Structure 1
Amino acid sequence: MSTNTNTNVDIGYDVFVADPLAMSGPALPNGQPRVFQPIAVTLIHGRQDAVLADPPLTRQQAEKVGDWVEASGKRLTHIVATHGHGDHWFTAGMLAERFGAQVVTTAGAIAQMHNNVYAREVLWDVIWPGQIPPSPVTAVTVPGNRLTLEGHDVNIVEVGHADSDDSAVLHVPDLDLVVAGDVIYNGVHMYLAESADGNLGPWRKAIDTVAALQPRRIVASHQNKNLDDNAERLIAETRRYLDDAEAALATHDTPAEFFQAMLKRNPEHLGPTVLWVSSRALYLAREGGDPVQNLVAAWRQ
């Protein structure tokens, strides 16, 4: 699915939202099957050239995104990953080869990419066996974390920890646009599992960094495709979700109770599987143990 959101003749953006993928594993506590979140891929384009943000997870998704890019008639010059989670870059190499584009991100995100490659055999390929293409880390940094698209700046802004360490967003000043990766969400349950110490302060600071850019539009890389890109609403709702999570953590003793409380507070949100993974990880952290093993267990059980 794609939406056309051109704003003037010189520069614009379009969004492709890949539908949620089925996942292996037992049903959720509310009886629903495990399904991943929608993944939004953004094409920022000028008259001739384009930059793609956050390529998707699986080979099949990437083929559809590639056909969408090809149909745009634009020359793809760069592919940007906002952070190191595999659902935002595992198909970058596949798309880069198809279009002759360069994969770029921040130095911190490159380190996180390597961590996610190491995790493939125990996590990603267990959940989606045979669906993810080879994913060598080919990304490079760019001077000043800045790309230029036909004279328009596309800035890679580092924001620190959000749903992952070493997160960034793309800022396109001439569009009043931020492509927010997983810093800002839009009608979808947020991935809290890597904030398992319960400290959501760094994520709040990341949101403040986005707000300081004063965008009018935000593309969240996990979103309900039926909602708009209004920046003020997205920022407020993302902050509120963190407040809800903090309140629920303070008042509930089990992951199941936390899960149900967050469903009740956010009944319209998509992606309850990620909420359950977050619930498991947050409460496993209270028991101690190795954080990486806790994270894998939260995803697989």
Structure 2
Amino acid sequence: MTDLRYDTLLARREGVVRDLPQSAEEGSDLRWVMNTATLILGERDAVLVDTFTTIEQNDELIEWIKGHGRTLTHIYVTHGHGDHFYGIGQLLDAFPGARAVATAGTVAGARVQAGDDYRDGFWGRLFPGQIPRPVVPDELEGDHILLEGHELRVVEAGHTDTKGSTVLWAPDARLVVGGDVVYNHTHMYLAETDAASRVEWVAALRAVQDLGARHVVAAHKHPDRDDDPVIVQQSIDYLADVEDTLATTSNALEFYEAMLARHPHRANPGSLWGAAKVFRP
């Protein structure tokens, strides 16, 4: 069998929380977030993990995939947030032989974010005229995808930054495509979490560590950082800092600024401010 390789494409967009207070990050160039799409490559075929948010970004993704000269067989979606699956319809139009698939938990989340309340009322309000018409992935039969004889294994992660999260593990490439389970030098999205779900998230991260990956691709990563598996431990440490900071602060601004002091150079501080307002309303 031919060895598997992978490539990633990054797309930068504005964060979804934009009412940041005057604070330590003021004047910095961090108020953005990168999404990643990962192409796992065999000799002839390829599997894509996650799509992008806007029509233009997904058009660029299509051209990037075509440039690799492979037949796209599957689009795998790691979880049900719209910025990871809204491009499915465009991708299937461009690659009609491909199948878009996800776990039952991801499909359930995607159905919610494919509805008008999210597509128009949330994402469409933030990115007017830029959101594709959503297509929900099919439920994957079984727990893996075959790519030229290599298993790409689905690892259920439970509730991380949202319910029904997964990672895709390619053992023959020692590659984890981590979706939103793991973050790379970007503030983690916490607004859907509570203390119990964050414990579950840490357990999922430790399970990812146990896989022994050589490469870990986060769905949200800083473009200056590589796919070093150290980001799994860094994500665990960030969640530990959240618990410690919640225990030692009394309002949203205190929590936000204390976490910024601990993590001053992570992208997308808006995600942290959004969580602060949920934790300390």
- TM-score when normalising by structure 1: 0.86
User: How many correspondences in the alignment?
Assistant: 275
CA-CA distance at 1:189 after TM superposition? 0.4
- 8 A contact 2:15–2:33 mirrored in 1: no
2:48 is matched with 52
- 8 A contact 2:160–2:197 mirrored in 1: no
- 8 A contact 1:26–1:34 mirrored in 2: no
1:29 is matched with 22
- 8 A contact 2:185–2:221 mirrored in 1: yes
CA-CA distance at 1:36 after TM superposition? 4.0
* Structure 2 residue 74 is matched with structure 1 residue 78: yes
- 8 A contact 1:195–1:282 mirrored in 2: no
1:87 is matched with 83
Give the whole-Å Cα distance in 1 for the aligned partners of 2:181 and 2:205. 7
What letter is aligned with 1:212?
D
- 8 A contact 1:93–1:136 mirrored in 2: yes
Deviates more, 1:168-177 or 1:143-152: 143-152
Which protein, 1 or 2, shows the higher relative CO under an 8 Å CA cutoff with sep ≥ 6? Answer: 2
- Picking from 212, 222, 225, the partner of 1:224 is 222
* Structure 2 residue 103 is matched with structure 1 residue 106: yes
Deviates more, 1:39-48 or 1:114-123: 114-123
What letter is aligned with 2:129?
G
2:258 is matched with 261
* Structure 2 residue 242 is matched with structure 1 residue 245: yes
Give the whole-Å Cα distance in 2 for the aligned partners of 1:179 and 1:200. 20
2:160 is matched with 162
- 8 A contact 1:162–1:202 mirrored in 2: yes
CA-CA distance at 1:56 after TM superposition? 0.7
- 8 A contact 1:15–1:41 mirrored in 2: yes
Give the whole-Å Cα distance in 2 for the aligned partners of 1:147 and 1:128. 33
2:12 is matched with 19
The alpha-carbon distance between structure 1 residues 74 and 199, as it changes in their structure 2 partners (threshold 3 A), is closer
* Structure 2 residue 193 is matched with structure 1 residue 200: no
CA-CA distance at 1:135 after TM superposition? 0.2
Give the whole-Å Cα distance in 1 for the aligned partners of 2:12 and 2:157. 27
1:292 is matched with none
Give the whole-Å Cα distance in 2 for the aligned partners of 1:199 and 1:42. 27
What letter is aligned with 1:251?
T
- 8 A contact 2:182–2:205 mirrored in 1: yes
1:97 is matched with 93
Partner of 1:270, secondary structure, is coil
What letter is aligned with 2:238?
Y
- TM-score when normalising by structure 2: 0.92
Deviates more, 1:121-130 or 1:151-160: 121-130
Partner of 1:194, secondary structure, is coil
Instruction: Give the fraction of aligned pairs with identical amino acids, expressed as a percent.
Output: 37
What letter is aligned with 2:70?
K
What letter is aligned with 1:240?
D
Give the whole-Å Cα distance in 2 for the aligned partners of 1:150 and 1:198. 40
CA-CA distance at 1:200 after TM superposition? 1.4
Deviates more, 1:165-174 or 1:127-136: 127-136
Give the whole-Å Cα distance in 1 for the aligned partners of 2:30 and 2:120. 19
What letter is aligned with 2:13?
P
CA-CA distance at 1:10 after TM superposition? 2.9
The alpha-carbon distance between structure 1 residues 275 and 198, as it changes in their structure 2 partners (threshold 3 A), is farther
Unaligned runs of 5+ in 2: none
Give the whole-Å Cα distance in 2 for the aligned partners of 1:42 and 1:183. 15
The alpha-carbon distance between structure 1 residues 28 and 40, as it changes in their structure 2 partners (threshold 3 A), is farther
The alpha-carbon distance between structure 1 residues 190 and 143, as it changes in their structure 2 partners (threshold 3 A), is same
Unaligned runs of 5+ in 1: 1-7, 285-301
- 8 A contact 2:181–2:204 mirrored in 1: yes
- Picking from 135, 142, 145, the partner of 1:147 is 145
Give the whole-Å Cα distance in 1 for the aligned partners of 2:17 and 2:239. 28
Partner of 2:280, secondary structure, is helix
The alpha-carbon distance between structure 1 residues 267 and 185, as it changes in their structure 2 partners (threshold 3 A), is same
Give the whole-Å Cα distance in 2 for the aligned partners of 1:205 and 1:258. 24
2:119 is matched with 120
1:69 is matched with 65
CA-CA distance at 1:21 after TM superposition? 2.8
